[in-house]
Chain A
Amino acid sequence: MNAGIDVPQIQRFGALYIASARLKSMSKWRTIIAAVDIGNPFFYLIAVGIGIGVLVEQGSGTSGTNGIKYIAFIAPALLANTAITGIMDETVFPTIEGFKWRKLFFAQNATPITGRQIAIGVYLAALCRAIFSVSIYYILLLAFNVVDFGVSILLLPVAVLGGGAFGAVILFAAAKIEKDDQFFNILGRLVIMPMFLFSGTFFPLSSMPIYLQPIGWISPLWHATELGREAAYDYGVSNLMVIVHFLVLATLVVVGLILATRQFEKRLAK
């Protein structure tokens, strides 16, 4: 062997090699990704900002949203949700593909790269996608005059953290899936959709009956939305709750990644 293989270097940077390969695959879909990431916020901002927002403000002004314009009130949630769906696309599909459809992970694992590095590489590439999607959304929010450029830029890291929390957990779930028959239907309709609706997205969580509020408490979207509102508009979230929101999201990232990397290693070693 004289090719110049440097195993310690692979042990340090293997996850980045995987991430860059994932980004290369993603770049093959750049037209579709760009169309989705621009089209989606565009339609939302027109429909909700101009349509529903006007209706809400005619009804109750901004009294229900702590004095914030309705579209600005939901903007942090839309951003976090964008990060979540972007990360989901780039973790769930590649993971099921990697283990099952085309078994790419087994090819990667036949090199000095480990299962742990594959999991982290997929996750890092998905985070890049989330940063891209959220940045486009943010630019459109500025263009539609929903937020002012300034402190509202904090919405970006907060949204990406929310997406990352969800993404780490879903990476583990996707690595667990042996039969993918109904996984996407269940995930889309029974996880993503209810989470989007019941996480204080369109109305404060506190206006829901108490028995529905736990959906928000376990939802990374709610935590990221509340953090975003506080960061961008001084929404009135207590300092204690800011810490709680942050800790919940950070814990989900850490626990999700530990479970996901273990599951990747276990499944590849079968």
Chain B
Amino acid sequence: MSNPLISVRGLTKVFGDFTAVNGIDFDVAKGESFGLLGPNGAGKSTTMRILAATSTRTSGTVEILGKDPEQFGPLVRAHLGVVPQQDNLDNELTVTENLYIYGRYFGLSKKFIKNKIEELLEFAQLEEKRDVKVEALSGGMKRRLTIARGLVSEPDILLLDEPTTGLDPQARHILWDRLFRLKEQGVTLVLTTHFMDEAEQLCDRLVVMDKGSIMAEGSPAGLIKEYSSKEVLEVRFGSDRNKEVAPQLAQICERMETLPDRLLMYTEDGEQLLEQITAMKLHPTTSLVRRSSLEDVFLRLTGRTLIE
């Protein structure tokens, strides 16, 4: 990658005797939407805090816009927009006051911020809430405001830690739409998520993380192609029978994962596989053919599901 905005080599962060991040490498290019996908405790948030030029690292090198964030914290942070996992808005202030004060922390002129606020209120669909105290907003609105706040300084890179965790499906879709617009405008996005659908929707490229290490890297489609089959047949026989029939079924598909409640059979043609099972006179109580997802990639790489 020529001239990456972010370049990370051998990044390690140790808390006491716990290694949160264990020697990871990656680059992020300008205009790219880059994801860190992994379960809770994978080291994603720790990595994000280091990228945000706030947290220190134990070893390795990090360059953001060509600068070491540990050495040039304020200079690097001037180019970043940060959306933390937990909204840290000032509840006592109104929507516009929050945006205004945050803009001042970047030393921006009053005039610039005033104009910017109008643009951000529209982007966050909060025009009608402009003079409402933050504590009265819904979870989705607070999230959109936190993202708007992160954009007040027109950052080169927007860092989003678990942007839709805790939101209801409708609020998530609104947020994805907003983030997609930013992506279209060419804002470089770096986001962490443990939702595979979110990663598929928003990321051009991602790394799969587990226990502080990177397990795989690629585009969502590329990873699925590399680590999974085209389709997945999910069958349930009831919790006791699943294990019983598993050895038989394993022989007729490329690969199989036995979960507590269902069997996942990896294949190029799910319908055909289902017919085969019926022909074997094994009658699943439910069956579902779907295409492979990043969840399957994660399962293949770690033997565990993303959300446990």
Binding site for B on A (CB under 8 A): 1-7, 9-11, 13-14, 17-18, 20-21, 24-25, 28, 102-104, 106-114, 268-270
Cross-chain contact of B107 among A10, A21, A104, A109 (Cβ < 8 A): A10
Interchain CB contact under 8 A, A25 and B108: no
Task: Supply 22 A–B pairs (Cβ within 8 Å), ascending by A.
Answer: A3-B108, A4-B112, A5-B153, A7-B74, A10-B105, A10-B107, A24-B93, A102-B88, A102-B90, A103-B86, A106-B84, A107-B84, A107-B88, A107-B89, A109-B54, A110-B80, A110-B84, A111-B153, A112-B73, A112-B75, A112-B107, A269-B54
Q: How far is the CA of A114 from the CA of B153 in the complex (A)?
A: 17
What's the nearest-Cβ distance from chain B to residue A27, in Å?
10
B56 part of interface (Cβ distance < 8 Å): yes
Contact flag A106-B78 (CB < 8 Å), given A5-B153, A7-B107, A111-B105? no
Cross-chain contact of A24 among B84, B89, B97 (Cβ < 8 A): B97
What's the nearest-Cβ distance from chain B to residue A266, in Å?
10
Q: How far is the CA of A17 from the CA of B110 in the complex (A)?
A: 13
Interchain CB contact under 8 A, B75 and A106: no
Chain A residue with the shortest CB-CB distance to B70: A269
What's the nearest-Cβ distance from chain A to residue B177, in Å?
24
Cross-chain contact of A9 among B82, B107, B153, B156 (Cβ < 8 A): B107
Q: How far is the CA of A18 from the CA of B107 in the complex (A)?
A: 11
Interchain CB contact under 8 A, B54 and A25: no
Contact flag A1-B153 (CB < 8 Å), given A11-B74, A25-B93, A113-B74? yes
Q: How far is the CA of A270 from the CA of B109 in the complex (A)?
A: 31
Q: How far is the CA of A113 from the CA of B80 in the complex (A)?
A: 12
Chain A residue with the shortest CB-CB distance to B65: A1
Interchain CB contact under 8 A, A113 and B88: no
Interchain CB contact under 8 A, A3 and B153: yes
Chain B residues positioned under 8 Å from A24 (CB to CB): 93, 97, 101
Interchain CB contact under 8 A, B86 and A112: no
Chain A residue with the shortest CB-CB distance to B73: A114
Chain A residues positioned under 8 Å from B97 (CB to CB): 24
Interchain CB contact under 8 A, A5 and B106: yes
What's the nearest-Cβ distance from chain A to residue B102, in Å?
7
Chain B residues positioned under 8 Å from A109 (CB to CB): 54
Chain B residue with the shortest CB-CB distance to A108: B105
Cross-chain contact of B108 among A5, A18, A102, A114 (Cβ < 8 A): A5
Cross-chain contact of A13 among B73, B88, B107, B154 (Cβ < 8 A): B107
B66-93 toward A: CB 8 Å interface, digit per residue (1/0)? 0000000111011110101010111111
Chain B residues positioned under 8 Å from A21 (CB to CB): 90, 101, 104-105
Q: How far is the CA of A20 from the CA of B102 in the complex (A)?
A: 12
Q: How far is the CA of A104 from the CA of B82 in the complex (A)?
A: 13
B40-54 toward A: CB 8 Å interface, digit per residue (1/0)? 000000000000101
Q: A3-B112, A21-B90 are in contact. List 11 more A-B contacts (CB 8 A).
A: A1-B156, A9-B107, A10-B106, A102-B90, A106-B84, A109-B54, A110-B54, A111-B105, A112-B73, A112-B105, A113-B74
Contact flag A5-B82 (CB < 8 Å), given A25-B90, A110-B54? no
B155 part of interface (Cβ distance < 8 Å): yes
B55 part of interface (Cβ distance < 8 Å): yes
Cross-chain contact of A1 among B101, B112, B150, B154 (Cβ < 8 A): B154
Interchain CB contact under 8 A, A20 and B104: yes
Chain A residues positioned under 8 Å from B153 (CB to CB): 1, 3, 5, 111
Chain B residues positioned under 8 Å from A113 (CB to CB): 74, 105
What's the nearest-Cβ distance from chain A to residue B3, in Å?
16
Q: How far is the CA of A270 from the CA of B49 in the complex (A)?
A: 9
Q: How far is the CA of A152 from the CA of B106 in the complex (A)?
A: 42
What's the nearest-Cβ distance from chain A to residue B276, in Å?
55
Interchain CB contact under 8 A, A17 and B73: no
Contact flag A17-B108 (CB < 8 Å), given A11-B74, A28-B92, A110-B80? no
Chain B residues positioned under 8 Å from A18 (CB to CB): 105
Q: How far is the CA of A268 from the CA of B82 in the complex (A)?
A: 15
Q: How far is the CA of A112 from the CA of B103 in the complex (A)?
A: 11
Interchain CB contact under 8 A, B107 and A6: yes
Q: How far is the CA of A1 from the CA of B112 in the complex (A)?
A: 13
Q: How far is the CA of A116 from the CA of B101 in the complex (A)?
A: 18
Chain A residues positioned under 8 Å from B154 (CB to CB): 1-3
Chain A residue with the shortest CB-CB distance to B79: A1
Contact flag A17-B104 (CB < 8 Å), given A7-B75, A269-B54? yes
What's the nearest-Cβ distance from chain B to residue A50, in Å?
39
Contact flag A112-B55 (CB < 8 Å), given A3-B106, A103-B86? no
Q: How far is the CA of A2 from the CA of B115 in the complex (A)?
A: 14
Interchain CB contact under 8 A, A107 and B102: yes
Chain A residue with the shortest CB-CB distance to B155: A1
What's the nearest-Cβ distance from chain A to residue B286, in Å?
44
Q: How far is the CA of A176 from the CA of B107 in the complex (A)?
A: 29
Interchain CB contact under 8 A, A5 and B84: no
Cross-chain contact of A4 among B54, B101, B109, B149 (Cβ < 8 A): B109
Cross-chain contact of A110 among B52, B91, B92, B109 (Cβ < 8 A): B52
